[in-house]
Structure 1
Amino acid sequence: MPFAIALLVLLIELTPAHFIYTGPMLVATPALAALTMGPKGTLAAAGVAVGVSVTTATYNGAWGTQQVYTNFLALFLVSMASFMTSRTARTRTENELNQIRRIATAAQEVLLRPVPDRLGPVRAASMYLAAETGAQIGGDLYDVVQTRYGVRMIVGDVRGKGLPAVRAAAVVLGAFREAVHYEDDLVDVIDHCGAALRRDAVVAGAGAGAVGDGDALLEGFVTALVAQIPDGPHVEVINRGHPPPLLLHEGTVRSLMPTVPLPPLGLEEFIDGPPGRTDSYPFAPGDRLLLCTDGVIEARDPDNTFFDLSEAMMTMRDHTREAFLEGLRRALLRHTQSRLADDVAIILVDRREDEGHRSAGGPT
């Protein structure tokens, strides 16, 4: 807008319409620039206004008149005031953003805790990428906990975005962290998470003056997968509408599909029959297990081609966990040209091998 005004003034002054008094229009350009363009933009707008004033004054032979010098004085005063105002506003905005980032980082450390490297019979690592630029947390969730029943983990994805999604993720994670220590059945653990989500939906609906019925629950469902790794060479999984985990075994990647498909948390009314059961899959020493949200498998390139996660696991099968996650991060950003459409959460777990039987190039 400031530069458009300067161009308009120039056209008026260099045409027969120069009888129109344009001085106040040029004086307003630095003030307008200060609203949105920052200190550098304000100085640029002021410079353009000065250039236009000099050009028009020379073209119209107005040098030496009181009007020209009055315009220059007003332009100088407004430019200085606009620059100082813009710089003060920029500093205040940056301080507020830094404070928000610190709060978001603290919230992320509470909501998405770092995954311990060693957990009983496994070693683990995790990665979280927010699709929104500058965001720290979103609607994806994960956690890994060592319990008396074995290593238990969860990965999930909340429908929707923004603060409601963060709230739903916090509710599910809180319920999971409580239930994993006293529920001996994984079905009961994930049912505990679903019950907590339904209670929160009812409370949120009541707080908004709505009825916590099925429609309210439909707005806040969560796809989730809970897994348990006991001391034996297997992994137990219960899947509630979530992308299945991938298992890397002896150079082959296998998708651990559920025996009976189940709806996401919050949509329990669509379960027909028993509440579901845990599926068990072989998970031998040296194997690698990957749990992720759909932000990985649904990532697309400009040609609308999906990211091939199985191929990435095969290509980087000999990488350490940290190197694998870093390579996967780079591959995802390269595939999407750094424009992720959805948040990404990943848990990577390696079944530890006995030192005497550790493979030379296998994951460590």
Structure 2
Amino acid sequence: MPFVIVLLGLGIELSPAHVLYTGPLLTAMPALASLTMGPKGTLSVAAGALGVSLITTTLHQAWGGQQIYSNLLGLLVVSVASVTTSNAVRTRRQGELDQVRRVAVAAQQVLLRPVPARLGPVRAASVYLAAESEAEIGGDLYEVVHTRYGVRMIMGDVRGKGLPAVRLAAAVLGAFREAVHYEDDLVEVMDHCAAALRRECAVPGAVGRAEEENRAEDFVTALVAEVPDEPVVQVVNRGHPPPLLLSGGKVQALTPSTPLPPLGLEDFIIGPPVKAESYPFPPGDRLLLHTDGVIEARDRHNAFFDLPRAMEAVDTCTPPEFLNQLHQALIRHAQGRLADDAAMLLVDRSDETI
């Protein structure tokens, strides 16, 4: 806008309407530019305003008038002040942004703790990709815990974004981390997570008025899995994308036989009691848990990311290297921009135990 106004002033001075004095208008442009531009942008606007003033003054042979020199002096003072202010504001905003990033990183380390590389009979690795480049945390959640029942893990995705989504993710993760150690049934673990979500949604005044009106729609897609000492994996899936099992170079989706609604929508559960489903998981196989941000990533042709095919194309390597190759393939597919946060958790069974 400041550049447009400077050009508008030049147009006035070069037209029959040059009797209109544009000096005060041009003098204010550096100050206007400092509100949204950095020092370089402000200097550019100031140089443009000065150039228009000099050109039109020479063209109209207006040198010698006190008003002209007053205008040029005012333009110089305003320009210097605007550049100084712009630089100070930019430094302060950068400091505030850095502080917010540090807080976000600390929150992420508390909510999404680093996954241990080895837990009992499995090796594990995880990756979290924020859709926004400045973001560090969102509504995706995951955790892996070694318990007396085996290695238990959760992958989930909260409806919505922002702080309300982080709040619900923290409630579900907290319930999971507590329940996995004393509940022998995976269904009971999932029920604890659902109860924690309901309690959090019922807390009065925890969200703004707009979020308060949408509380009936709060839900979390979640998947809980257990890898015991036996060569199997047990899964309870509540509306989440099914995990993918890589066995013998081929990928199989562990789709539940009876689809269940997400956490928070228990009223829609009908039929027999929910039970965990068991699948073969011998040594050498790999299990990938993921959120829909991975499989819904699109390329320039609007095609979804083919995660099973990408898994089959990865060379044999360690879990962190495996996820890194998937990460690179996903970024290439989406041209470096994700429409939604994405999380992946990989475990593979080893013959060795600790």
Q: What's the TM-score, normalizing by structure 2? A: 0.96
Distance 1:115 1:8, change over 3 A: same
Q: 1:89 to 1:208 in 2, by over 3 A?
A: closer
Find the residue that maps to 1:36 and give its secondary structure.
coil
Q: Look up the SS of the partner of 2:87 in the other structure.
A: helix
**2:219 alignment partner in structure 1:** 221
- Match of residue 331, structure 1, among 324, 329, 332: 329
**1:319 is aligned with what amino acid?**
C
Q: Secondary structure at the match of 1:35?
A: coil
The equivalent residue for 2:25 is 25
Query: What is the aligned partner in structure 1 of residue 171 from structure 2?
Result: 171
**Structure-2 residue corresponding to 1:306:** 304
Q: 1:171 & 1:50 partners in 2: Cα distance?
A: 59
Q: Alignment identity in percent?
A: 66
Distance 2:215 2:182 in 1: 27
Which digits, 9 at most, give the CA deviation of each residue in 1:259-293, with x for residues without a partner?
21110000001000344100000111111110000
Q: Could you report, residue by residue, the CA deviation over 1:93-118 in whole angstroms, capped at 9, with x for unpaired residues?
A: 01100000000000000000000000
Structure 2 residue aligned with 1:186: 186
Query: Does structure 2 conserve the Cα–Cα contact (< 8 Å) formed by 1:244 and 1:255?
Result: yes
1:60 corresponds to which residue?
60
Matches within 5 A, 1:236-247: 236-247=234-245
Change (3 A) 1:102 1:185: same
Partner AA of 2:304 in structure 1: F
Amino acid at match of 1:259: S
Larger CA deviation: 122-131 vs 50-59: 50-59
Query: Hey, what does 2:47 align to over in structure 1?
Result: 47
Match of 1:361 in 2: none
CA contact (8 A) 1:220 1:266 kept: yes
The residue identity in structure 1 corresponding to 2:28 is A
Aligned residues: 353
1:1-364 aligned within 5 A: 1-204=1-204, 218-354=216-352
Alpha-carbon distance between aligned partners in 1 of 2:92 and 2:172, rounded to the nearest angstrom: 36
CA distance in 2, matches of 1:216, 1:7: 48
Match of 1:359 in 2: none
The alpha-carbon deviation at position 320 of structure 1 amounts to: 2.3
Cα gap change, 1:248/1:88 in structure 2, threshold over 3 Å: closer, same or farther? same
Report the 3-state secondary structure (helix = DSSP H, G, I; strand = E; otherwise coil) of the residue aligned with 2:262. Answer: coil
Unaligned runs of 5+ in 1: 356-364
CA–CA distance in structure 2, aligned partners of residues 103 and 275 of structure 1 = 42
Q: Kindly indicate whether the alpha-carbon contact (under 8 Å) linking 1:288 and 1:351 is maintained by their aligned counterparts in 2.
A: yes
Deviations 1:244-269 (A, max 9, x none): 00001111111101121110000001
Tell me, yes or no, if the aligned pair for 1:251 and 1:317 is still in contact at 8 Å. no
- Partners of 2:165 and 2:338 in 1: how far apart? 18
- Rounded to whole Å, the distance in 2 between the matches of 1:259 and 1:205 is 39
Tell me the amino acid that sits aligned with residue 34 of structure 1: S
* Between 312-321 and 117-126, the greater mean CA deviation after superposition: 312-321
Following superposition, the deviation at residue 300 of structure 1 comes to 0.9
Q: Could you give the per-residue CA deviations for residues 295-330 of structure 1, whole angstroms, max 9, x where no partner exists?
A: 011111121111000011100041322222222122
Q: What amino acid sits opposite 2:203 in the alignment?
A: V
Give the match's secondary structure for 1:40: helix
